Amino acid sequence: MGIFADTRGYFAEMWQAWNKFWFQSVDPATLCLIRLLAGTLLFYTHLVWSLDLQAFLGQEGWLPVEYIRRVQGEQWSVWSVFFWIKPGWLLWCVHIIALLVFFCLMIGLFSRTMAVLAFLFAVSYAHRVSPGAFFGLDKTNCMLALYLMLGPCGARYSLDSVRRVRKGITTPVAPSTAANLAIRLLQVHLCIIYFFSGLAKYTGENWHAGTAVWWALANQEYQSIDMTWLANWPLLVALATHATVFWELSYWALVWNRFTRPLVLWMAIFVHAGIALFMGMITFGVAMIIANLAFLTPQTVRRWFDPLAGRVARLLGAGK
């Protein structure tokens, strides 16, 4: 009898914990901050395509659509609006619409609808250049857009919230289960990324030997700041290499504990800011830092950003 009661109790407790983890309602401040930053990043990174749009996204260009479709295995599920767009003027029209969508997501105008459209456009661009010109930035862009559309990402720090106040709606922003779900999915997704990134590094001889950071920084095509002075500091290189691998491998475990979380997140900022500053991948570094913000509590986000958001809202004619 005892064993059944205990087993039932175990599952009941687990279901409670599961519900608390995924379905607890929270203030959507964290999701809204990520919308603001990810929207800005999506807008900028897609704006850059404008400088050589036809070459990268046109029917011909560097890699013709017909060839890319063949390399991708002609699968129906690998989709992009750019596979069907032929005339140059139409390509530009779609590109401008996409930029408007990303811009609206950034400023938080019709946020939820724009988040869905932003995801569809982000995947469209990414599939058109995969393989060919894609890299980690496209994966992170699509991941951020995917989870933004699941929750009320325009409830705060948005034109939507300013419009609500100007219409006289003064009810406070409601806590949201969907916001929690979106943030939780992003958090777990990040854990999976770092875990497998760490595992993949663990199969490399240079990551084992503690020299990989040197090889990464001594790559002239990546380099944006000369770090070759590290040739005189092999111990520093080794420590940075080992710390990177252990941080990635343990991220999924240590980020949930409130005492180790700040250390793990500061390390994330340190690593990704390093990639941005020294290896020229500014957009990718910023994208990963934005994703890591998912681990900030809504209270922290509000404490840091509400004063600034309040000033901006007053400038826009909302609030006292």
Partner 1 sequence: MAKFEPSRPEQQPRPTAPPQQPVKKPAPPRPAGEIGWHPVWRWFVSLLIVLHLLAVFCAPWDLSTQAALPPGFIPPTDNLGRQLPPPVGVLQEPIVTRGLRTWFFRHYLNLLYLNHGYEFFAPDPNGSHVIRYQIRDSGGREVAGGQFPDLKAQWPRLLYHRHMMLAAQTGDMGEESGRHYAQHLLAVNGGQSVRMEWIIHKLLPPQDVKNGKKLDAPETYQVLANIQEVAKPKPVPEQPVALPPTEGGR
Residues 13-42 that bind partner 1 (CB under 8 A): 18-20, 22-27
Q: Does 84 bind partner 1 (CB under 8 A)?
A: no
Q: Chain centroid to CA 145: how far?
A: 7
Q: Which amino acid is at 134?
A: F
Min CB(139)–partner 1 separation in Å: 5
Q: Which two tokens stand for residue 305?
A: 């950003």
Min CB(85)–partner 1 separation in Å: 18
Contacts of 105 (CB under 8 A, 6+ apart): 35, 38, 39, 42, 43, 111, 114, 115, 118, 148
Return the ∠ at Cα 177 (arms to 172 and 182), rounded to 5°.
Answer: 110
Q: Does 230 bind partner 1 (CB under 8 A)?
A: yes
- Which of residues 283, 289, 295, 302 is near partner 1 by CB under 8 A? 283
Between 89 and 232, whose beta carbon lies closer to partner 1?
232
Pick out residues in 250-269 that bind partner 1 (CB under 8 A): none
Pick out residues in 204-223 that bind partner 1 (CB under 8 A): 204-207, 212, 214-216, 218-223
Q: Measuring CA to CA, how many Å separate 11 from each of 19, 27, 181, 247?
A: 12, 28, 21, 32
Closest CA to 265 of 241, 249, 297, 289: 289
Q: Does 11 bind partner 1 (CB under 8 A)?
A: no
Q: Does 78 bind partner 1 (CB under 8 A)?
A: yes
- Distance of alpha carbon 149 from alpha carbon 112, whole angstroms: 6
x/- contact string, 140-159, with partner 1 (CB under 8 A)? Answer: --xx--x-------------
Q: Does 289 bind partner 1 (CB under 8 A)?
A: no
Between 132 and 314, whose beta carbon lies closer to partner 1?
132
Pick out residues in 45-74 that bind partner 1 (CB under 8 A): 45, 48, 51-52, 55-56, 60-64, 67, 71
Q: Does 170 bind partner 1 (CB under 8 A)?
A: no
Cβ(45)–Cβ(141) under 8 Å? yes
